[in-house]
Amino acid sequence: MAPHGPDGETAPEWRGTVRAAAAGPNPDQAWALLRDFCSLDKWVPLVHTCRRLEGDDGRPGCVRYCAGPVNMAAPGEAVGWSRERLLEVDAAGRSYSYEVVETNKGFGRYRATIAVEPDPAGCAVRWSFEADPVKGWTLGGFLGFLEKLAHGVAKRLEEEIVVSVDGDPALRVF
């Protein structure tokens, strides 16, 4: 449920989608790397830690812990962290959905879907969300932040998947 404003009205729900193309890798090559729910720290530079807390890797119900330096809601705190639950995985559609279950980053209700889709450049990362307004952010500022994250993921995919002449991926080792 969305929080209430000072006059008791319900604050509007935020929804948005950002997309970033990665030149080279095809969607299946990118999905082979991004499907690991507990590897966000390898793809998003602002996430320094990502580890499984509960459940089975890659299965709905799995809970991950993510932490990094960004915390708009509590600028005095050194680390922004969240616990996030995997809700569903669509391997054929190359996507997964998750929700924030606990955080110090100003989120109330937040649900997102990360997907890899075809693009003329190779593939694209699409990040869609619906949420209650996030403390410390405007909707436009939050969308801009997610867009930067999506472009960072696309760049990492370009760096990590080197497509050879015959089209087979050659993965760099982390």
Kindly tell me if the per-residue pLDDT of 71 is higher than 50: yes
**What are the residue ranges of helices labelled H in 95-170?**
139-160
Residue 172 has pLDDT above 90, yes or no: no
Q: What is the DSSP letter of 133?
A: P
Which residues pair with residue 54 across a beta bridge?
63
Residue pLDDT, tens place only, 30-53: 999 999 999 999 999 889 999 999
pLDDT given for residue 11 in this prediction: 63
Mean pLDDT across the stretch 80-89?
A: 97
Q: Is 50 exceeded by the pLDDT of residue 74?
A: yes
Q: Give the global pTM.
A: 0.85
Tokens 């190779």 belong to which residue? Answer: 122
158-171: per-residue pLDDT in tens? 999 875 445 555 55
Domain ranges of the chain: 14-162
CATH for the 14-162 domain, from 3.40.50.12160, 3.40.50.720, 3.30.530.20, 3.40.50.620: 3.30.530.20
Percent of the chain with pLDDT over 70: 83
